[in-house]
Amino acid sequence: MTVANDLEPADDEAIPLILGRNLRRLRTRQGLSLERLARVSGVSRAMLGQIELGRSAPTITLLWKIARALDVSIAALTSTSAQDSVVVLRQAQAKILSTADGLVLTRPLFPGDGDRRVEFHEMLLHPQATEDRTPHPAGTVEHLVVAMGRVEVTVGGARHRLERRDAILFDADVPHAVHNVGDGDALLYLVLSHGESDR
């Protein structure tokens, strides 16, 4: 829903607000806290907070540091277009990751730009397929939801049988696997949350 344009401030006043809105959107899209962005950019947390609130117009040097830390162009921070706030991921254009035997297909459901603390994937397992997953760094959490089929999830040696619409959440710093135990395809959605230490 769009707010009426007659509430928009004059152009000179709008620049800090536009910059702040873009910075917050790009930062949160990458799953970065203000503290983390401050560390990687060299710009203080207080200054970043003021910029996001539209209370400060940074110098070109600060703007360049922020853009470089976010791995975006300065134009992305200053753009008045709202198009970047919506990302459509077409299935037909997706980059599908496949196991060597072709029995497990994974599709990223997030843009591939920049580092992220949270990833979202769709996973399709053909009958009797197994996806063995190596341990992630400490602090990583996996959240699996079964949209279709029946699977068995093994986490550190413990087995958990999941049916359609069941979900499981676990620390993913141990060996884990997903096995399709049904007669048809199994469709799962995977949310992977990386700890601060991984970034």
Q: How confident is the model at residue 128 (pLDDT cuts 50, 70, 90)?
A: very high
Quote the Cα angle for 69-75-81, to 5°.
120
Domain with CATH 2.60.120.10 in the chain: 91-198
* Predicted local distance difference test score (pLDDT) of residue 117: 75
* Predicted local distance difference test score (pLDDT) of residue 170: 97
The CATH number of 91-198 is 2.60.120.10
pTM across the whole model:
0.59
Superfamily the domain 5-85 falls into? lambda repressor-like DNA-binding domains (1.10.260.40)
The answer to whether 34 and 27 have CB atoms below 8 angstroms apart is: yes
Q: Select from 146, 120, 142, 122 the least CA-distant residue to 133.
A: 142
Whether the per-residue pLDDT at 6 is higher than 60: the answer is no
pLDDT digits (tens, 9 = 90+) for 27-43: 888 888 899 999 999 99
pLDDT digits (tens, 9 = 90+) for 78-103: 877 654 567 788 888 888 889 889 99
Domain with CATH 1.10.260.40 in the chain: 5-85
